[in-house]
Amino acid sequence: MEERKMPLIGDKFPEVEVQTTHGKLKLPDEFKGRWFILFSHPADFTPVCTTEFVAFQKRYEEFEKLNCGLIGLSIDQVFSHIKWVEWIKENLDYDIKFPIIADDTGKVANELGIIHPAKGTNTVRAVFVVDPDSVIRAMLYYPQELGRNMDEILRMVKGLQLADKEGVAIPANWPNNEIVEDEVIIGPASSFDEIKEREEAQARGEIKCFDWWLCHKKA
């Protein structure tokens, strides 16, 4: 099988048919018109991965409120996925509601470039944030020994949706930024006319500026 590189932000999510714990699905068609998170994990029945699945499920409804689906992936067989989901339900009392891709051939993982050559055949901890137009908007790539922060993934979806809606940028640690708190960033002015417009908007109290290139406002 030809080794593929990880796709880039801005690329279309590749069209693939997958076997999951919810039956056969076509991606990205399954989430047409919705955001979705595809996340890969190294293996079923492993400690860190188990904590991650519980953490994702705990925030499942929050993702749903953002019109954002979840789908997991590893190279384990579907029987392993099903047994692991049963174990989590029986022992940790969390019912995993999202599907998990059984990529036992490695076809999907290869298409997404998420099998690290130094880690054998295990999939790495990758995250793909995909928008309703099936465009990959963000990617995260974790080492096996570090579990993911699901609140940051939620923040990314919220931030991207707000940026799209209002044509703004999202500051560091939003909505708790050290400089602008919960406000959003207005793109830098690119002409003297725009600078003048910013000054007038600031005088009207519509925006706040530290300088003409660093302006912010309430979302």
CATH code at position 191: 3.30.1020.10
The structure's pTM equals 0.93
H-helix or E-strand spanning residue 49: helix 47-58
pLDDT band at 6 (very low <50, low <70, confident <90, very high): confident
Q: Distance between CA atoms of 187 and 178, rounded to whole angstroms?
A: 18
- Name the residue with tokens 């991650």: 52
Q: Does residue 1 surpass a pLDDT of 50?
A: no
Among the listed residues 49, 68, 209, 215, the single catalytic one is 49
List pLDDT tens digits, range 28-67. Answer: 999 999 999 999 999 999 999 999 999 999 999 999 999 9
Closest CA to 139 of 32, 13, 21, 9: 9
| Same domain as 101, residue 71 | yes
CA dihedral 168, 173, 174, 177 (to 10 degrees): -100
Residue 215 known to be catalytic? no
% of the chain surpassing 90 pLDDT: 86
Least confident of 5-14, 67-76, 125-134, 175-184: 5-14
What pLDDT was estimated at residue 3?
52
Helix 78-92 to helix 47-58 angle, to the nearest 10 degrees? Answer: 70
What pLDDT was estimated at residue 132?
98
In a domain, 100, yes or no: yes
What pLDDT was estimated at residue 4?
57
Average pLDDT value for the chain: 94
List pLDDT tens digits, range 65-76. Answer: 999 999 999 999
Specify the number of domains making up the chain: 2
List pLDDT tens digits, range 200-219. Answer: 999 999 999 999 999 999 99
Answer whether 124's CB lies under 8 Å from 144's CB.
yes
- Domain holding 181, by residue range, is 168-219
In a domain, 9, yes or no: no
